């Protein structure tokens, strides 16, 4: 198996492994209608259940008439958000600690462990990066009582180092994102443009192959390293904020 074949072979296992930790952020129009505006990660932080997403996703969702909700499992009505949300205006991140009444009996809903959130940029350049979220073009709102139907986009690529991305901050990193060159795990090329709108807030993992042999790898070695906050189509990259920016937010909790 070539290096490219191995990398492609990790996409499906990573997609299946990470999907239970994903959430859709929904702007609620009225009692029965809403729209997908971003993605997020369900995680345990400060020993509490929480959702981590992008600050601008929260602000956009909160501008809807009935504010916003979070997906709470297949076939379940979205959970209406209430209470304080911790924001990082510099790094464009947000943390919402889930109240006790958030559903806890949903088999397909999981929370990413805090000890598998990497706060540094170590090994990003030598590992394969993977992100998973819900593009707006692949989601549609049914009814609040019936939930959201969304098809996720699992995507893997290397960190962009050359050519350099303009105006990156020390807490940011860029991921290659060129829809024209995308291919599926079966190596087939995509003929349709994938609009990443709605992926903001999606977690980014390094899959954990760096420093290990292919035979040692499994999705259980992956670490969350950041969250998508920007799409720069002219430079053909997605920009993520490092999970290191969570330190200040979580200190408040």
Q: What is the pLDDT of residues 127-163, one digit of tens each?
A: 999 999 988 764 544 454 445 555 788 999 999 999 9
Q: Where in the chain are the domains?
A: 3-252
241: enclosing H helix or E strand:
strand 237-242
CATH architecture of 3-252: Beta Barrel (2.40)
Give the distance between the most distant pair of CA atoms in the chain: 53
List 143's β-bridge partners, or say none.
Answer: 147
Work out the pLDDT band at 243, boundaries 50, 70, 90: very high
Q: What pLDDT is attached to residue 145?
A: 43
| Rounded Cα gap, residues 188 and 184, in angstroms | 5
Q: What is the pLDDT of residues 171-197, one digit of tens each?
A: 999 999 986 666 655 555 554 446 677
CA distances (Å), 148 to each of 33, 138, 154, 189, 198, in order? 10, 11, 18, 28, 14
| Rounded Cα gap, residues 172 and 117, in angstroms | 16
pTM of the prediction?
A: 0.91
| Rounded Cα gap, residues 44 and 50, in angstroms | 6
CB-based burial of residue 234 (10 Å sphere; 0-12 exposed, 13-18 middle, 19+ buried)?
exposed
């Amino acid at each position: 198996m070539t290096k490219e074949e191995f990398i492609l072979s990790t996409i499906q296992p990573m997609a299946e492994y990470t999907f239970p930790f994903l959430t859709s952020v929904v702007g609620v129009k009225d009692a029965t209608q809403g729209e997908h505006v971003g993605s997020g990660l369900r995680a345990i932080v400060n020993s509490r259940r929480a959702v981590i997403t992008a600050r601008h996703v929260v602000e956009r969702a909160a501008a809807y008439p009935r504010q916003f909700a979070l997906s709470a499992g297949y076939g379940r009505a979205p959970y209406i958000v209430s209470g304080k949300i911790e924001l990082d205006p510099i790094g464009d991140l947000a943390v919402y600690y889930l109240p006790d009444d958030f559903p806890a009996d949903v088999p397909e809903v999981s929370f990413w462990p805090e000890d598998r959130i990497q706060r540094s940029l170590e090994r990003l350049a030598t590992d394969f990066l993977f992100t998973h979220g819900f593009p707006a073009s692949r989601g549609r709102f049914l009814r609040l009582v019936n939930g959201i139907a969304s098809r996720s986009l699992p995507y893997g690529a290397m960190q962009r180092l050359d050519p350099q991305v303009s105006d990156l901050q020390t807490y940011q990193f860029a991921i290659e994102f060129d829809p024209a060159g995308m291919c599926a795990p079966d190596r087939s090329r995509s003929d349709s443009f994938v609009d990443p709108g709605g992926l903001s807030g999606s977690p980014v993992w390094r899959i954990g192959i760096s420093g290990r042999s292919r035979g040692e790898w499994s999705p259980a070695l992956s670490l969350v390293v950041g969250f998508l906050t920007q799409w720069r189509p002219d430079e053909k990259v997605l920009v993520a904020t490092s999970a290191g920016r969570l330190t200040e937010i979580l200190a408040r909790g």
